[in-house]
């Protein structure tokens, strides 16, 4: 049976009827139209579905939407403000850290969470922060450059 | 990969959880971090009708110290273990083990209780329903063959969790609750050694707390895996050492990844006990560990390779634990 959930996504409250077996990823994409977070492996191995919940990057494909009530969810759509891109987004473009683009939203969410906690990360910190995000184009060097260019 | 339809309950306290478990037993699954449960559900390895979420129970999420020592709530996230400076200072092995789990996202979701209760794994088991349809059902799914040990008469799935060896090397106790009461047992009695059902937890029971009372031990956890992230260990070793006047008074060496439960290397410990901290002693212990463990060949990892690796990892674990002395 469907439940009425109140989800706080990108600072906006949504009221949505959801079957309990649906993951946050499906609800974001199919109910709320927020298709930034991607479905990759859907099994927690690739990080394409990474969103930030209560300040921490987590996998939306392994999170039931029902368990997100009362939490602050941040997706890639929510990090730009007033039509202005987040500095990470700017630098991902500037440094060519985007090839096919599929891993990019997840990469940026992991990187954002790193920079929020540690504004001046080392290269190793940056690599560790994105260690749960796979880039099948293997464009890691540019991604790390873009993250380091955004620091402090 | 979609989940089957299910019912969802999120009681606000432990009592509520235990009531649900007692009422629904086999049909209910406990959802902690979800990083293993939901994968198994998507693979149709388990098909619970109901999931009961621990996420709303704040009282299971704590790291605290009292006269018994360290108490960690089962709902504590792995990253919270890593962030705890007191754990890092006193039991670095716990911190190191929690840091080696999977990926940042999974450590932000996964709980200590979940890692302790992690199911055994096998190449032929942790696959989709569709993949497994092509092979005969194995012991782990209720059939009667083992695809790893051909002709074997039991399940040989491997226990691969990172934090249990670290807790075991510190002689941790585990608190288990059910509607009818609470019991605290040594973590070493929690594991059965059976691939099919690796722990003694009953359908209506919940792990609520881990208690570490050891004092003065130097400890470490090291692991070898093919990838540095999002991978289970081929072998993990936790060492704990109590030093007195430059000699090893007491120690524990515990493996993960070499059997269907964490494996304590008692003969190796005996070699170390009473000896001075010297290269030759560590070398001898590593050699003993190589012959003491009884791994079998799993897919691309031959048993002989694992034995050699086991010895090398024991050496590394002891040296890492000792570094804490100097540094």
> Does one domain contain both A91 and A60?
no
Task: For residue B324, name the pLDDT band (cuts at 50, 70, 90).
Answer: low
What is the reported pLDDT for A88? 98
Distance, in Å, from the CA atom of B310 to the CA atom of B158, rounded to the nearest integer, reads: 15
What is the reported pLDDT for B51? 97
The model's pLDDT over A123-136, given as tens digits with 9 standing for 90+, comes to: 999 999 999 999 99
> Does one domain contain both A129 and A63?
no
Q: What is the mean pLDDT of residues B211-236?
A: 96
> Does one domain contain both A97 and A132?
yes
- pLDDT exceeding 90 applies to what percent of chain B? 94
Residue B247 has pLDDT above 80, yes or no: yes
> Does one domain contain both A30 and A59?
yes
Q: What is the dihedral of CA B93, B117, B160, A61, to 10 degrees?
A: -100
Please tell me the total count of domains within chain A. Answer: 2
What is the reported pLDDT for B1? 82
3-state secondary structure of B133: coil
> Does one domain contain both A91 and A142?
yes
> Does one domain contain both A24 and A53?
yes
Q: Pick from A56, A78, A100: which residue ends a domain?
A: A78
> Going by CATH, does the domain composed of B61-117+158-326 fall within 3.30.465.10?
yes
Whole-number Cα distances in Å, A90 to A11, A52, A79, A95, A127: 22, 19, 12, 9, 19
Contact with chain A for residue B108, Cβ under 8 A: yes
What is the reported pLDDT for B172? 98
Whole-number Cα distances in Å, B115 to A13, B70, B97, B111: 34, 18, 11, 6
Residues contacting B13, CB < 8 A, separation 6+: B57, B59
In which domain, by residue range, is A7 found? 3-78
Range from B30-44, B177-191, B293-307 carrying the lowest mean pLDDT = B293-307
> Does one domain contain both A93 and A57?
no
Q: Pick from A78, A109, A124: which residue ends a domain?
A: A78
A67 contacts B53? CB cut-off 8 A: yes
Chain B interface mutation, best of A18, A50, A66, A118, highest count of B Cβ atoms under 10 Å: A66
B8 contacts A3? CB cut-off 8 A: yes
The model's pLDDT over A57-71, given as tens digits with 9 standing for 90+, comes to: 999 999 999 999 999
A20 contacts B105? CB cut-off 8 A: no
Q: Pick from A78, A101, A133: which residue ends a domain?
A: A78
- pLDDT exceeding 90 applies to what percent of chain A? 96
Nearest to A131 among B1, B10, B228 (CB): B228
What is the reported pLDDT for B25? 84
Whether residue B55 contacts residue A63, with contact meaning beta carbons closer than 8 Å, is answered with: no
Nearest to B5 among A21, A63, A133 (CB): A21
Token pair belonging to A1 = 């049976």
Nearest to A67 among B10, B35, B106 (CB): B10
Q: CATH number of the domain at A124, please.
A: 1.10.150.120
A131 contacts B109? CB cut-off 8 A: no
Distance, in Å, from the CA atom of A110 to the CA atom of B230, rounded to the nearest integer, reads: 15
> Does one domain contain both A134 and A106?
yes
What is the reported pLDDT for A50? 98
Whether the model pTM is above 0.90? yes
Distance, in Å, from the CA atom of A70 to the CA atom of A6, rounded to the nearest integer, reads: 7
What is the reported pLDDT for A5? 97
Question: What is the assigned CATH class of domain B1-57?
Answer: alpha beta
ipTM: 0.97
> Does one domain contain both A74 and A92?
no
Residue B150 has pLDDT above 90, yes or no: no
Distance, in Å, from the CA atom of B323 to the CA atom of B327, rounded to the nearest integer, reads: 6
Task: For residue B226, name the pLDDT band (cuts at 50, 70, 90).
Answer: very high
Distance, in Å, from the CA atom of B268 to the CA atom of B271, rounded to the nearest integer, reads: 5
> Does one domain contain both A111 and A145?
yes
Residue A49 has pLDDT above 60, yes or no: yes
Residue B326 has pLDDT above 50, yes or no: no
Sorted by where each begins, the domain ranges of chain B are 1-57, 61-117+158-326
Half-sphere exposure of A120 (CA within 13 A, CB side): 1
Range from B24-33, B102-111, B296-305 carrying the lowest mean pLDDT = B296-305
Range from A18-22, A146-150, B25-29 carrying the lowest mean pLDDT = B25-29
What is the reported pLDDT for A131? 98
> Does one domain contain both A99 and A33?
no
Task: For residue B327, name the pLDDT band (cuts at 50, 70, 90).
Answer: very low
């Amino acid at each position: 049976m469907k439940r009425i959930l109140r989800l706080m996504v990108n600072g906006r409250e949504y009221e949505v009827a959801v079957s309990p077996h649906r993951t946050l990823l499906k609800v974001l994409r199919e109910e709320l139209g927020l298709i930034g977070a991607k479905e990759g492996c859907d099994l927690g191995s690739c990080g394409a579905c990474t969103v930030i919940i209560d300040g921490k990057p987590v996998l939306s494909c392994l999170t039931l939407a029902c368990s997100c009530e009362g939490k602050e969810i941040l997706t890639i759509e929510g990090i730009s403000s007033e039509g202005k891109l987040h500095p990470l987004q700017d630098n991902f473009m500037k440094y060519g850290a985007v090839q096919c683009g599929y891993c990019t939203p997840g990469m940026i969410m992991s990187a954002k969470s790193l920079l929020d906690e540690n504004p001046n990360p080392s290269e190793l910190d940056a690599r560790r922060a994105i260690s749960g995000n796979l880039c099948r184009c293997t464009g890691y060097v540019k991604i790390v450059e873009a993250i380091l260019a955004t620091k402090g | 990969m979609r989940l089957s339809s299910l019912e969802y309950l999120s009681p606000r306290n432990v009592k509520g959880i235990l009531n649900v478990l007692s009422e629904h037993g086999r049909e209910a699954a406990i959802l902690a971090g979800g990083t293993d449960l939901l994968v198994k559900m998507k693979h149709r390895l388990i098909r619970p009708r109901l999931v009961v979420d621990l996420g709303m129970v704040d009282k299971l999420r704590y790291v605290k110290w009292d006269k018994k020592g360290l108490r960690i709530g089962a709902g504590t996230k792995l990253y919270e273990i890593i962030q705890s400076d007191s754990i890092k200072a006193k039991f670095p092995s716990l911190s190191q083990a929690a840091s080696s789990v999977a990926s940042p996202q999974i450590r932000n979701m996964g709980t200590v209780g979940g890692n302790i209760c992690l199911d055994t794994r096998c190449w032929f088991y942790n696959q989709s329903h569709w993949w497994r349809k092509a092979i005969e059902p194995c012991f782990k799914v209720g059939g009667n063959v083992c695809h790893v040990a051909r002709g074997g008469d039991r399940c040989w799935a491997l226990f691969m969790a990172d934090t249990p060896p670290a807790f075991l090397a510190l002689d941790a106790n585990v608190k288990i609750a059910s509607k009818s009461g609470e019991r605290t047992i040594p973590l070493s009695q929690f594991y059965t050694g059976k691939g099919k059902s690796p722990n003694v937890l009953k359908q209506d029971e919940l792990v609520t707390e881990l208690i570490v009372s050891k004092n003065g031990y130097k400890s470490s956890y090291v692991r070898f895996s093919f990838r540095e992230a999002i991978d289970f260990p081929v072998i993990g070793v936790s060492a704990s050492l109590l030093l007195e006047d430059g000699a090893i008074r007491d120690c524990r060496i515990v493996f993960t990844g070499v059997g269907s439960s964490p494996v304590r290397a008692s003969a190796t410990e005996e070699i170390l006990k009473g000896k001075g901290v010297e290269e030759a002693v560590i070398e001898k212990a590593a050699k003993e560990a190589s012959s003491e463990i009884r791994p079998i060949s799993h897919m691309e990892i031959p048993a002989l390779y694992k034995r050699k690796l086991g010895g090398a990892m024991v050496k590394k674990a002891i040296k890492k634990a000792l570094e804490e002395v100097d540094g």
